[in-house]
Every structure is written in C-alpha cells, then in structure tokens.
Amino acid sequence: MRKKTTFKFWFVVAAALLLLMPGFMAKASGGDVPRTFPLTEDFEAALVPPAGWNIYDVDGLGTNWAASYFNHTSGGQYSAYHGYAPDQHDGWIVTPALSFPASGQIVLSFWSLIVDPSFYGKNSVLISTASGDPAIGNFVEIWTPTNVGADWSQVVLNLQAYAGQTAYLAFRYEGNYAHGWAIDDVYVGGDFNTSPVIAVNPEILNATAPINTTVSKNLTVTNTGVDNLAYTFTITYEGTAANWLSITPMTGDVAGGGNLVHSASFNPSGLELGTYTASIAIASNDPETPVKTIPVNFTVVEPSSVAIYNMIQTYTFPYDISENGEYVAISGFGTGGWLWSKTNGLIPVNGEEVTVQAVAEDGVISGTARNPAYNISGMGVFMAGYWHPVTQDWTFLGVNPAAGEPVFNDYSSSWGMTSDGSTVVGMQYFNDYSYKAFKWTQAGGFDMIGNVIPTGNRPNGISNDGSVIFGWAELPEASRSPVIWHNGNFIQIAPTQWGEASAASSNGEYVVGTAGSDAFIWSAQNGATFFPNTLNGGGISPVAVMDDGTALGYTAEGWPPFPDTRRGFARLITGEMMTFNDYAISRGMIDAADWLFYSINGVTPDGNKFIGAGINPDGVTVSFLIDFGASIPSIEIIPTSLTENLDPGESSTQNLTINNTGNVDLEYDLTINFNQGNKKSVASIIPVGPRPVTTGMKISSKETNGINTLTEKSRETFVLNYDGTNVDAIGLISGGTFYNAVRFPADLTTPFAGASINSIDVYINNLPGSATLLIWEGGTTTTPGTLIHEQIITPTATSWNTITLASPVVLDGSDVWVGFTYTHDAGLFVAGIDGGPLNDNGDFLSADGLNWERLSDYGFVANWNIRANLELGSGNWLSVSPLTGSVPAEGSQDVVVSFDATTLNNGLYNATIIVRSNDPDMPLAFVPASLLVGSEIPCFPSPRNLTGTTQGQDVTLAWQAPDFSGGGGGTTQDFEEGFEAGTLPTGWMT
C-alpha cells in the first residue's frame, strides 16, 4: 500500500465516527445562523462546519471536512481540511446564504494549502443562486487551480457578476486516495484591494554559457492581484557589450491569479570570456510597484573538456560512484545489478536475486543476495554482504546476534557503505516481523543503531567518510519520515511529514531528501532548509548532494514518478533551482541542451563526475558517467593527406603536423599500410539491410573470469575489434546450433586495403561440440554476403584462442564479416562477450546463418569477443619519423614523412599512414599518401565501348576500362568521373 503523510486529525476521526452512528445523514450543519454580507471565517473556533455553514459528504464514504492543525491565520491554530482516503471522494463545505449588494465591489478571498500535491485530484469553488445543497442547487464552477504547489497561496475571485443576488459558495474536494486540501481566512466582501500585483521569478536572472553556445532561461511573471496586469520589458546593458540578451515576448497581459512565462535568450557571440551585466525593467499597472527591476548576470566561459562514458545503452539506476570515480554500482529497476569500470566495462554482479547499493574505491560492491548457506523453504536467505569483482564471489555479513539465526527468507539487507568498504549500514529483520537499522563494521560487527526508537526504521546510506547515516523511521505522526544519525544524535527532520533522507555529501556536511511534497537540505550548522519544485508542477526527489551543498536528483510530472517522466535538476547552495541541462551548460558542456536527463544519481567529491541516465543527442537511451574535469587529449593532423611527384631515383620529405588541442598529453604512434597493387583506396557502398527481426532464440549467459591475456602484437600487426575485456559468455538454454559475427564496414577497412587477415582472436568459455570460423564478404548493413573462408577449429576452454587462418584473407576496402558457428549441449555457455559499451556492428546473432538479429535484442548490451588480426601491406618508398611521440596540451609536433623513388618505376603509388592515439574521440586517424613517379600518366578520357541501358527514368552505363599507358603499373589505375562540371565531360559521348 502506498504510504503517505500522517497528520493530527482527531477532528477527522471524530467526524468519521459520527457518520457510523444510526440515522446519521451525509450532511453536517453549523446551525441556522443567517449571514448577509460581508463574511469572514478563520475557523479558529475549531468547529467545522462553523455556524451557518454546511458540509455535504456526497460520496457517503465518511471522510468529511473537519478542523485541522494546518493554519494560515496569524497567531491562529486551525483551518478547515479535507483529507485523503481510499475510493472516490466528493466532499463539499458550503457557506451560509450571502446577500450581495446591487453595486460596489464583491470579492471572495481565501487561502489554500494542498497537502501532497503529487497526488492531486481536484479542488474547486462553485457558486449557486438557488440552494446550498449540491443535490438541488444550480452550482457553477468558478475556480480550480491551474498549478498546484505545496505552500499556502491566496485565491481572489471577482463576484461582481452576481451583484444584487443571494448566493452560496461551495469549496469542493475530489480525489481517490489523493491529496489533502486546507482552506483558511475566508473573506467575502467589498473592502478588498483588487489592483494587479506583480511577482517575478526569478528575481535575479543568472546564466552561464560556453563561447558560441546560446542558452535560454525562463522568466515567469505572475499576477497575484485580481485585475489584469499589463506590463512591458526594457533591457539596459552595463558596459559597452550589448544585444546579448533578448526576451520573448516583450509585453504581457495577465489575468488575476495567472502567469506568463517569458523566454530570456543569452547569446555569447562576439563576447570575450568574462561576466556581463544588465538589468530588466518591467513597467506595469501595479500601483504599488510600477517598475520592477531584475538584475541580470551572464558569464561566458571556455567549453570544458567533458568526457561522456555510456556505461550501458539502457535506462538503469546508477546507484553509487566510487570516491575516485573509477567504479559505478548500477541497479536495474528491480533486482539485478552491474559493476562498471573504465578498465573492464560492464560486469554483471552474479548471485541469486541480487540488489546493489554501493561501491568502494577498489570496486567491491555492497548489496544483498540470497545466501545459499541458509535455506528456508527451499530457498536461500536474503542477507547483506560484499561482492568481490576479482573472485566474483559474495562474502555475507552473517548472523546478527541481536536477531539470531534466520527463520524467514528475509533476514538482512544492505543500504550503504563507506568509501573504504569498512562500514556497511542496512536493515535487520526480526522474528516478530519488525525491522531496525544496523551499522556493521569489520572491527566491531553489528551495532543496532535503530534501537534509538521503538518503531521501525531503515538507513538509506552512509556518507563516504562514515560521519553521518541517513534514512527514514516510523514516527507517531508519519509512517515514513526522514531521519539522520549524526554524532550520537537521532535527528527527526520533519516529524509530521512523510518522506526520507536519501543522500549525503561525501564529507557528511550535507544530507538531502524529501519531507511531504518539499525537498530539504540539512547541515549540522544550519539544520534543515525546505524547498519546493519550482521547475514544473510535479514532485521532487533529491538523490545526491555535492560537498558544496549542490543538491541533485529528479523532478517528475505527476504521481507516481515513472522513470520516463523524470527530469534531472540541480539546486545550488544559494537556493537557485535549474534543470541539469542548464547546470551542465554552465559547466561548459556544449551539447547539454540536446540531452534529455532523466536523473542525476551520484557525484564524486571533486564535483566533476556525475552518474545518471537519459537520452543523448543521438536519441539513444544511456546510463552515463559525465566527467566535467576530464583530462582529454584531442588530435588534429595537418595536412589531412599527402601527395608528392618525383622522378625515378629522387627522394623528398614533407612535414605532418600533429596538434593536441586537448588539456593533457597526447600519446601517438604511426604505422604505414602500403595499399594493394598501389591502388588508391576507395570505400565501397553497401546497401542498407532490413531491420533485424527477433526470432525468439532461447539464449542465456553465465559470468566468466575471462581476462585479456593476449600476447602483444607487433607493429606490423593491426587489430580490428569492438570488444573489451571478456566478462560473460552466451549459450543456448537447451543447447543446439547458433552463429555469431561482427561486421567491419568499408569505412574501417578501406585504409587497410592490401592488408591481410592472418588470424582471429576469440574467447571461448565452455567447449562446444563443434566450432567453425567463418569469414564473409559484405552483403548489407545487417546481413553478411558470400562466405569466403571456412575453417573448423579446436578451441581451448575458458581462454582466448588465436586461430591462424589456413589461407589469409586480403582486404580490398569493402565490408568484411567475421564470425563463428557453434553446436553445444544444454547448460553450456560458449561464446564470450564484453561488458560494453555496444558497437552497432559488434553483436550479430543468428539461428541458421541466414536470418540475422542482434544480441542486444535479448537484453545483452555487449560485443562478441572476436578480433581480426591484420598483417599490413609492405613497402619501402614511404617512411615516417618519429614512429611514436608525445604532444603536450595545446602543443604540436612535426613528423617527417620521407618519399623515396630510388627503386621505383614510373607510376602512381598509394599508402595510408595510420595514426593511433589516446584521443578517446579519435583513437584512429588515417592520412592517405600518394607518390607519382615520372611524368604524368596519360589517360584517354573516354572509356571504351560505352553502352547505356534505359530502365524507366534511369540509365545504366557500362564500359570497358580506358587504355592507360606510361608504365609503372598503369593498368591498375582507377577511372573516375564525378560529373561535377554540370555538363557532359570532355571526351564523353551520348
């Protein structure tokens, strides 16, 4: 059952009991005390309904309007309140008959409080001129809120249309286990200021953007008065820089109680780095504030070196990041989990019904799994423990002396761990079904910190330094309320509010969480500060906090906060709320506006590495790690290609400049591939294949202990692959035959034209009954073409295997597919995979070798452990020096490229300089190099025997190769005509 805020409503209970008495009707009356005009009611008599008022329980379910301790009246204690309950409720509280004067002002004013707005059903005000009974009155709705929030707000309605009439006003609550609604300080009369009243949010407009990146902020103008508010904007710039701010629209006209959102656009084009200031003057017809001034601050920054790691291409909940930023504990929505690292990628956390909660600096996971050492009803007992990535085994915390031996399947669960792994916090179940928080240390074992109160409680985690524990507890007036354990004190954040404390800063200085419909941030120095969601109309959930007090998490449009409705936010310690998109832009992330951030779940102590989930600018759903302080080298090579003309016997040199535009040293090495037959490499075009259709293969996986123990390759050997370290293996559940493959497209193989595949590396876990290596030509983008190599293999189990080809396969610059077919028994897991991230060409799968699909279609976001080893084409007419180098940040280095025609005949020679570097965005770069020896090769421009075949509006041309002469391999030259001139090329005939 959904638990909500529990309140003191003895009056609600009393009213419900009265409804159970025999003969009681679904109406309660405050007596026949006629009221005329004006009417004031502050409910301080603690009697609901007040004299002359009536309440109607239209649904008859027994939950009525009653007195409550929610209060707006200065110095008062009470209000009228309708609470929530199961089933659809329809509760009315109606004023006495009101005799409106024939002329003059007539206004209804009241204060409204919505409790648990995330559960909001409906509130409304209605008016009837016939009767105060909803069953017979002619009630007309005159108000319902357009936005709901968690704070007291004043509502003012103009009733001049009913002048000279007798009327009843009704406050109507509707909801099914929804929100709560309190009203207070009701006034109906003519002595009320109806002037428009301007309010602007925010009152200071701040923005930060990288150079050449435009950002937008919302500026909301609200009319808290009754009459329409009309206004205009004027922008005044300070200093010489101007026109970097624009507002849309520049004017507004807002009815009483309404608002208008304006877009403020900041354009840094032409601005230098620095901070620029301006002011926005809003001139309006608010008599009290005819001009309201909004200061504006705009900071232009350098784009940051932002590294983004797509840990897994699906929506998960990254739960914790190690203090050093090297490891991330990832939880699915439910059971299951992974450990991600930069080195090993994604590793499943094995065990039965696993949940992961935290990760230490050495990659050790704290979580919960079934402990097979204790068996209840044929199943292992859920127990808190550690999972070790090296051994991939669990070490459980064992029996808690305070609870004794397990008698149920639920025994203990882990909810947090310090960064060094020495302390775990969790929840202990007892034989009487109660539960309490515990702290466990390697030195002292279990400490039942939850015994500080008699009721149930649970930690949600512990700060990295162990100084503060945070969670929730069952309190007398709230069944799940935020609490903190700090310095031996048990701190109740909001004892009457539902919520929980959900995160602490690494140093324990700050704790964040929820209390009722608000969020809070707590510190030992300042206590708790509560803040609402001002970004949208939904709820707010802080789930991380930085050491500087910046709160992070997600907002959600409505309840429940389904994952796809979540949106990441950041709240600065100054109180400024912003979307995480805006926060990321302020940190120099240029494409942050193109992301959809679902949630931000964790951050390292240095405030640079953030984990969460979202949709990236390519439209791919990912669970990510964003590093705003990344040390990233960035390679730039000038020129992008080299050409040289020499006579036989001559030689020359040219410079190739390697620039590093990044912020850390660039490491590179150079290799040369001499193209086959000296032919210039041109990528072939492959047809787009059909979208793979999942056939429902019954496959499964098993964790492996595979490691990359392959021997180092020589400089003349190049490896084509997408995979990382082996972490898992795939097999058919019932056994049988399947195929797997990776595709190396033409844009990857073209620079290696002339190189040959001499061997294949593959990881094999369990031995199959039979295994065959297969190599295909390109077919489409989703299916291989003609089989060009087939070789039966005898692999070694749980090992990388290097398969030497019986006959090498020479690359010609077109697609090539490499794969295997396996036949195996049930219960075996044969083909190794990595931990991602997935490359679209790295996970092809087939049941028959004809119809191909993807491993990712079955939930495995990984690449096959298949690698093609190339022997590069040889030659001696081109060389580079140095072969390796290191370029400092913002530096450059020249590489001398030597052309040598000493032993060459006349002709055209082609090669590719392959540049490997530690640039994460461009680990491979290719520089084509061409050498023309001797005079230019004459070429008769017309191809021979040109013919054309007409098919509809298309004409297909065919010809024999033109007649080249001039020696030096002339017969191998390409004939190319791009038709770029827009007219028939010289020598062509139709």
Alpha-carbon 965 to chain mean position: 61
pLDDT digits (tens, 9 = 90+) for 912-956: 999 999 998 899 999 999 999 997 544 444 555 666 666 655 556
pLDDT band with cut points at 50, 70 and 90 for residue 710: low
Alpha helices in 640-685 (DSSP H): none
Note the pLDDT of residue 971.
38
From CA 492, how far away is CA 354, in angstroms rounded? 31
Token code pair at residue 405? 């031996």
From CA 477, how far away is CA 780, in angstroms rounded? 66
- Of residues 208 and 710, the one with the higher pLDDT is 208
Helices (H) and strands (E) counted in the chain, each on its own, are 3, 74
Please state, for a pLDDT cut of 90, what percent of the chain lies above it. Answer: 70
Q: How many residues does the chain have?
A: 990
Note the pLDDT of residue 479.
85
Residue 5 has pLDDT above 80, yes or no: no
Note the pLDDT of residue 988.
56
Cis peptide before 882 (omega within 30 of 0): yes
pLDDT band with cut points at 50, 70 and 90 for residue 970: very low
Note the pLDDT of residue 6.
35
Note the pLDDT of residue 977.
53
Asked if 741 and 843 count as a contact pair (C-beta separation under 8 A), the reply is no
> Out of 316-330, 406-420, 948-962, which region has the weakest mean confidence (pLDDT)?
948-962
pLDDT digits (tens, 9 = 90+) for 769-817: 999 999 999 999 999 999 999 999 999 999 999 999 999 999 998 999 9
The CA angle 189-192-195, to the nearest 5 degrees, is 140
From CA 822, how far away is CA 487, in angstroms rounded? 61
pLDDT digits (tens, 9 = 90+) for 826-885: 999 999 998 888 899 999 999 999 999 999 888 788 899 999 999 999 999 999 999 999
From CA 590, how far away is CA 69, in angstroms rounded? 50
Q: What is the mean pLDDT of the chain?
A: 88
From CA 366, how far away is CA 581, in angstroms rounded? 31
> Out of 232-241, 461-470, 723-732, 949-958, which region has the weakest mean confidence (pLDDT)?
949-958
Please state, for a pLDDT cut of 70, what percent of the chain lies above it. Answer: 88
- Average pLDDT of the segment spanning 81-87: 93
Note the pLDDT of residue 711.
61
Most confident segment among 4-8, 220-224, 550-554: 550-554
Note the pLDDT of residue 522.
98
pLDDT band with cut points at 50, 70 and 90 for residue 19: very low
Residue 663 has pLDDT above 80, yes or no: yes
- Residue 580: Cβ-neighbour burial (10 angstroms; 0-12, 13-18, 19+): buried
- Of residues 330 and 705, the one with the higher pLDDT is 330
Residue 678 has pLDDT above 60, yes or no: no
Question: Nearest CA to 745 among 776, 774, 769?
Answer: 776
Question: Nearest CA to 571 among 610, 611, 541?
Answer: 541
Query: 378 φ, ψ to 5°?
Result: 80, 5
Strands (DSSP E) along 505-620, which ranges? Answer: 510-515, 518-523, 527-531, 539-545, 551-556, 566-571, 577-579, 596-603, 609-615
Note the pLDDT of residue 694.
76
- Of residues 198 and 539, the one with the higher pLDDT is 198
Question: Nearest CA to 568 among 603, 594, 531, 542?
Answer: 542
Asked if 296 and 280 count as a contact pair (C-beta separation under 8 A), the reply is yes
pLDDT band with cut points at 50, 70 and 90 for residue 347: confident
pLDDT digits (tens, 9 = 90+) for 535-592: 887 889 999 999 999 999 999 865 556 678 899 999 999 999 999 999 999 998 988 9
From CA 462, how far away is CA 416, in angstroms rounded? 6
Q: Which residues pair with 814 in a beta bridge?
A: none
Note the pLDDT of residue 360.
97
Question: Nearest CA to 348 among 826, 824, 730?
Answer: 730
- Average pLDDT of the segment spanning 450-463: 97
pLDDT band with cut points at 50, 70 and 90 for residue 125: very high
> Out of 385-394, 408-417, 943-952, which region has the weakest mean confidence (pLDDT)?
943-952
Residue 987 has pLDDT above 90, yes or no: no
Residue type present at position 247: I
Note the pLDDT of residue 619.
86
**Tokens 């200085």 — which residue?**
509
Note the pLDDT of residue 563.
76
- Classified as helix, coil or strand, 113 is strand
Token code pair at residue 536? 């949208």
Q: What share of the chain is helix, strand, coil (3-state, %, to 5)?
A: 5, 50, 45
From CA 191, how far away is CA 848, in angstroms rounded? 85
> Out of 365-374, 516-525, 729-738, 974-983, which region has the weakest mean confidence (pLDDT)?
974-983
Residue 978 has pLDDT above 60, yes or no: no
Query: 678 φ, ψ to 5°?
Result: 60, 20
Asked if 778 and 746 count as a contact pair (C-beta separation under 8 A), the reply is yes
Find the distance separating the first CA and the last CA of the chain, reported in whole Å.
81
Domains of the chain: 10-189 (2.60.120.200), 198-301 (2.60.40.10), 305-323+533-630 (no CATH), 635-675+874-933 (2.60.40.10), 699-871 (2.60.120), 937-990 (no CATH)
On whether the pTM is more than 0.75, the answer is no
Note the pLDDT of residue 948.
64
Give exposure, 378-392, as e/b (b: 16+ Cβ within 10 Å): eebbbbbbbbebeeb
- Average pLDDT of the segment spanning 438-467: 97
Give exposure, 158-173, as e/b (b: 16+ Cβ within 10 Å): bbeebeeeebbbbbbb
- Average pLDDT of the segment spanning 895-901: 98
pLDDT digits (tens, 9 = 90+) for 247-268: 999 999 998 878 899 999 999 9
Residue 635 has pLDDT above 50, yes or no: yes
